[in-house]
Amino acid sequence: MQTRRVNGYDMAYLALGEGRPLVCVHGTLGDFRTFAAVLGPLSRQHRVIAVSLRHFFPAHWDGTGDDYKIAQHVADVIAFIEQVEPRPVDLMGHSRGGHIAFRIAQARPDLLSKLVLAEPGGELDATLEAPSSVEPASRAARILASVEKIRAGDLDGALKNFYEGIEGEGRWARLPAVAKQQLRDNVFTLLGQVGEDRKPYSRQDAHSIRTPTLFIGGTKTTGSLAVVLRALSAEVPGAQLAMIEAAGHWMFDQAPQAYSKAVIDFLAA
């Protein structure tokens, strides 16, 4: 694959299409293939650059070392964008990748033209969250339980546990084998996620975003992802919100045309 050297690491990426660069950042257990279903529509208008964050496939990481951190991935994507021409670029992130994109918009708005956050991951602090609206410990507990299973060699059990924490009990069995395999290719990144040091979002964080921002969600997504989406989209100045009907957290897989249209319309406006 093509790679760019960022902070001592060869970061792999897929780039296709012509037009203004749109850098895409996958979420937990994803990689550059995460956005495969929307590459066709998006690459008609844009140069789509889908990265694989440090330690995700095509790396075959064993989970060792201490450089799997939110801050490291933020620094890596910043260093990556600094090498993209022309700048500023549009930036899109899904889930944990949405968290990373949000932090980049806070730290380096000069690099960005527009920002697309598809159900960004993370927690809300007391300035954004009504008390006990969600159970903040559940995600951490889920990941810890998955890590236990990985260490015991039960990779599919670890993935099932994580996936059903987001999409609901019983959903793993209905996930196509293709999607399962892509998660499996990145399963060891869950080991890094325990100590990734993710900070909650604050009202001040949201207010500080100056980049025009589109939030995208799936109407079927429940739990903290839906709560975070509503809270941030209400507080980021001038933000738009597009909800994809009958879709869950992987809304670009479930509704690639509706998702692409929302993104293309926002970027063209």
Partner 1 sequence: MQSLRVNGYDMAYLDIGKGPPLVCVHGSLCDFRNWSPVLGPLTTRHRVISVSLRHFFPDHWNGSGHTYSLAQHIEDVIAFIARLDVGAVDLMGHSRGGHVCFRVAQRRPDLLSKLILAEPGGEIDATLDPDYTHAPWPMAGPISAAADAIAKGDVDGGLEIFLTALQVPWKRLPATTRQLLRDNATTLIGDARDERIPFSKSDAESIKVPTLFIGGANTRGLLPKVLHALAAHVPNSRTEMIAAATHAMFEQAPQTYSRIVLDFLEG
Task: Decide if residue 245 touches partner 1 (CB under 8 A).
Answer: no
Task: Decide if residue 254 touches partner 1 (CB under 8 A).
Answer: yes
Task: Decide if residue 167 touches partner 1 (CB under 8 A).
Answer: no
Q: How many residues bind to partner 1 according to rule CB under 8 A?
A: 30
Task: Decide if residue 235 touches partner 1 (CB under 8 A).
Answer: no
From 52-60, 77-85, 98-106, 219-227, give the range in contact with partner 1 by CB under 8 A.
52-60
* Length in residues, the chain: 269
Rounded to whole angstroms, how far apart are CA atoms 213 and 112?
A: 10
CB of 199 to partner 1, least distance (A): 31
Which residues, including other chains, have CB under 8 Å from residue 115's CB and lie 6 or more apart?
90, 91, 92, 101, 102, 105, 209, 211, 212, 213, 214
Among 90, 119, 205, 253, binds partner 1 (CB under 8 A): 253
Task: Decide if residue 57 touches partner 1 (CB under 8 A).
Answer: yes
Task: Decide if residue 255 touches partner 1 (CB under 8 A).
Answer: yes
Among 7, 58, 219, 265, binds partner 1 (CB under 8 A): 58
Among 178, 195, 219, 265, binds partner 1 (CB under 8 A): 178
CB of 227 to partner 1, least distance (A): 26
Q: Measured from the CB atom, is 242 or 258 closer to partner 1? A: 258
Task: Decide if residue 14 touches partner 1 (CB under 8 A).
Answer: yes
Rounded to whole angstroms, how far apart are CA atoms 38 and 259?
A: 8
Residues forming contacts to partner 1 in the complex (CB under 8 A) are: 1-2, 14-17, 33, 36-41, 43-44, 57-58, 60, 176-178, 181-182, 184-185, 253-257
